[in-house]
Structure 1
Amino acid sequence: METNALDVNKQSWDQAAPRFFARNPLPEYGPLAPSEEELHLFGDVDRLKVLEIGCGSGHSLKYLDEKQAGELWGIDLSTKQIEAAQTVLKDSKAPVTLFESPMEVNPGLPTDYFDIVFSIYALGWTTNLTKTLENVYRYLKPGGSFIFSWEHPMYNRVRQHQHGLTVDKSYHEEGAYAHEAWSSPAIMQQYRLSTYLNHLIDHGFKVERVIEDVCLADAQKHTNGWYGYEKAQMIPTTLIIKCLKQ
């Protein structure tokens, strides 16, 4: 199942890459979520070594380059996304190293090396959360930060209708499911909030911040068939977690 899901998702992301070019990169953490300019989870990145899991088109790394990060590293499953990131980051001040690889596999990244590992709306694509978090832990220096955002675990369990909201999928249900919003087949993973937190703790991380807030000031920018102002008033769209390697 794991290998098949990776093959399916790679093909799907290669097709969808242009659609997601520069879509919600840092300082944004996700649709209708507070931004890095408000949260300051990264702090001062001057001369720090940073690695993005699911780097997409490279715009989040570009943002950190503008903040004087020391080294820019990225990993992404999609050939097209890596090609886009290479173009976006070609004039970066900091050295850039990109790997085309699933996040479940270490393609040659150094261990105990990075000050910050981060992931913006990508972690839920992993086919194996345990392997991915094991890799992240190895990549980080002791005391380094892992910061990630993903769609809030409640969001896709709830549907908005003309007369309100209904729960149409059990919150207790976890695992792989077909991503219904894409034109080409794609397989995503859903976990409970407690699963994310307990996996992080079990892998040696110290959870520092958990953020479920919404920011409705830019609602018009993000309103579409999936994310919307009315639903976000009731259900958070985005989960943001910062933790430290102990």
Structure 2
Amino acid sequence: MNKHSVYETNSLYWNTKGNDFLEAIVLPLYGAFTSEDKWKLFGDVSGKKMLEIGCGNGQSLKYHGERNAAELWGMDISENQIEKAKQHLSANGLSATLICSPMEEECGIPVQYFDFVYSIYAIGWTTDLEGTFSRVASYLKKDGMFIFSWSHPIHKCIVEENNQFIFNKSYFDESWYSVSRDFVQGDLKLSDRKCSTYINALARAGFVIEQMIEETDSEILQRHDGSKNNLANRAQVFPVTFVIKARKL
């Protein structure tokens, strides 16, 4: 796995059509059928310093800005997304410090500074999970909180055939693979890591897990009742999103 190649391929994706997939992965949603409105993992963020890893077009930063966060910081691999975030926040009377960089690399973010570091469906793009978690820990104050969501690994192992869900790949397979998209010059690069891989990497980086969420939000699911939404069908029988809240020791 060539990190530089992954950066180039994935940043191209977010520089072009990435916004097409952001609707369900910005706060208050953590991802499909999982919401901050129900779980309240952040609580009151007034006066808090917030850093988002993979800030995209700034919608989740706006969510916290409207809840009186003291400082908004964001990082993203895509220059285009950073520019969209600047425009979006400015249009809503908010400002943020925005940095274009891979999350794995040193990029001038202050250490022991933030009350919250969070990431909505972005951590899974990292090419160095343990290194990224170590960086996140360095950004946080003692007892600071790290909250992130990603596609549940079991979700990627299952396909639907003849109205049945069947396994089509091993849950234990964490190898990198290509995902073709018509609008990308090349393939997206992803790795489906096990839940235990995330949990153990957090422990090694000096975090203690306070909460893990796999449950589907029934109220959101009910809005799709009777629809032919394949993702909704999946969410009724197994998790499609997971969220972890961890505290820096």
Instruction: Give 3-state SS (helix, strand or coil) of 1:150's partner.
Output: strand
In 1, Cα distance between equivalents of 2:24 and 2:216: 18
Structure 1 partner of 2:217: 215
Aligned-residue Cα RMSD (Å) equals 2.0
Is residue 216–residue 229 contact of structure 1 (8 Å, CA) maintained in 2? no
Return the TM-score normalized by structure 2: 0.92
Query: How far off is 1:173 after superposition?
Result: 0.6
Query: Alpha-carbon deviations, 1:162-216, whole Å to 9, x = none?
Result: 2311101101111311124664221112110111000000111011001100024
Query: How far off is 1:23 after superposition?
Result: 4.6
Query: How far off is 1:61 after superposition?
Result: 0.5
Paired residues for 1:146-185 under 5 Å: 146-180=146-180, 183-184=183-184, 185=187
Identify unmatched segments of 5+ residues in structure 1: none
Is residue 119–residue 147 contact of structure 2 (8 Å, CA) maintained in 1? yes
Structure 1 partner of 2:205: 203
Amino acid corresponding to residue 245 of structure 1 in structure 2: K
Is residue 215–residue 239 contact of structure 2 (8 Å, CA) maintained in 1? yes
Structure 2 partner of 1:106: 106
Is residue 130–residue 202 contact of structure 2 (8 Å, CA) maintained in 1? no
In 2, Cα distance between equivalents of 1:129 and 1:25: 21
Is residue 9–residue 189 contact of structure 2 (8 Å, CA) maintained in 1? yes
Structure 2 partner of 1:122: 122
In 2, Cα distance between equivalents of 1:114 and 1:19: 30
Structure 1 partner of 2:136: 136
Structure 2 partner of 1:229: 232
Query: Alpha-carbon deviations, 1:15-51, whole Å to 9, x = none?
Result: 1134245553111000122x11111111110010000
Structure 2 partner of 1:87: 87
Structure 2 partner of 1:31: 32
Q: Kindly tell me: are residues 224 and 133 of structure 1, through their superposed partners in 2, closer, same or farther at Cα, counting changes over 3 Å?
A: farther
Instruction: Give 3-state SS (helix, strand or coil) of 2:29's partner.
Output: coil
Identify unmatched segments of 5+ residues in structure 2: none
Amino acid corresponding to residue 87 of structure 1 in structure 2: Q
Structure 2 partner of 1:5: 6
Which of 235, 238, 243 is 2:246 aligned to? 243
Instruction: Give 3-state SS (helix, strand or coil) of 1:90's partner.
Output: helix
Q: How many residues align?
A: 244
Return the TM-score normalized by structure 1: 0.93
Q: Kindly tell me: are residues 154 and 181 of structure 1, through their superposed partners in 2, closer, same or farther at Cα, counting changes over 3 Å?
A: farther
Structure 2 partner of 1:70: 70
Query: Alpha-carbon deviations, 1:89-134, whole Å to 9, x = none?
Result: 1155664100011111121100000000000011111111111111
Q: Kindly tell me: are residues 206 and 182 of structure 1, through their superposed partners in 2, closer, same or farther at Cα, counting changes over 3 Å?
A: farther
